[in-house]
Amino acid sequence: MKNIAVFASGKGSNFEAIAKTVKSGMLKVNLALLVCDNQQAAVLGKARKAGVPVALIKRQDFASKADFEKAIISRLKENAIDLIVLAGYMRMLSAPFVHEFRGRVINIHPSLLPAFKGESGIKDAFDYGVKVTGVTVHFVDEEMDHGPVILQREVAITGKDTLDTLEAKIHKIEHRIYPEAIKLFVQGKLKIKGRKVIRLR
């Protein structure tokens, strides 16, 4: 069984969705570790409630980003992590970190990448006035919100939507699509070829 680590900095709704899918048996992985950089994050309580070990590793406790990431890498190796799942982790991973785990780090973003990159993807799409936005799960590379796409789902924006209702629709899709993408990875059904992901049968 594959060992996965979830990285999160905030509320942890995607962590919670993944943990529930694991508990139900629909996603057959060992949720081995939560990595968090924020001691105030609500996700810490959710991880402890789910019985998932927590690595609270704060940037301010280290002299450099390199030392900070070395501490994270050490915990990942201690737990023999096969896949890193970024779920609202508000730090950009360095190129050396990405290189260390290339092809084993995935991220979820609340837009149809490459549109509306950055931390306010939902608001940016809403403010721009597009009729369709969505959710993207992708492999992580050295650029922000970039890398080969694993799955995408569209979400319509209607005239009745507010930013709050759109956020709710986006999160609902996120909670479905992320476990699905993780399942494809652990079943060995994803292969990166150049900038694309090939789905194996």
Positions marked active-site? 109
| DSSP line for 180-199 | HHHHHHHTT-EEEETTEEEE
Distance CA 195, CA 145 (A): 13
Q: What is the DSSP letter of 59?
A: G
Whether residue 35 contacts residue 44, with contact meaning beta carbons closer than 8 Å, is answered with: no
Q: What is the DSSP letter of 93?
A: P
How many alpha carbons fall within 13 Å on the CB side of residue 3?
13
Q: What is the DSSP letter of 168?
A: H
Sign of CA dihedral 190, 191, 196, 201: negative
Distance CA 160, CA 169 (A): 13
Does 114 sit behind a cis peptide bond, omega within 30 degrees of 0 on the bond before it?
A: yes
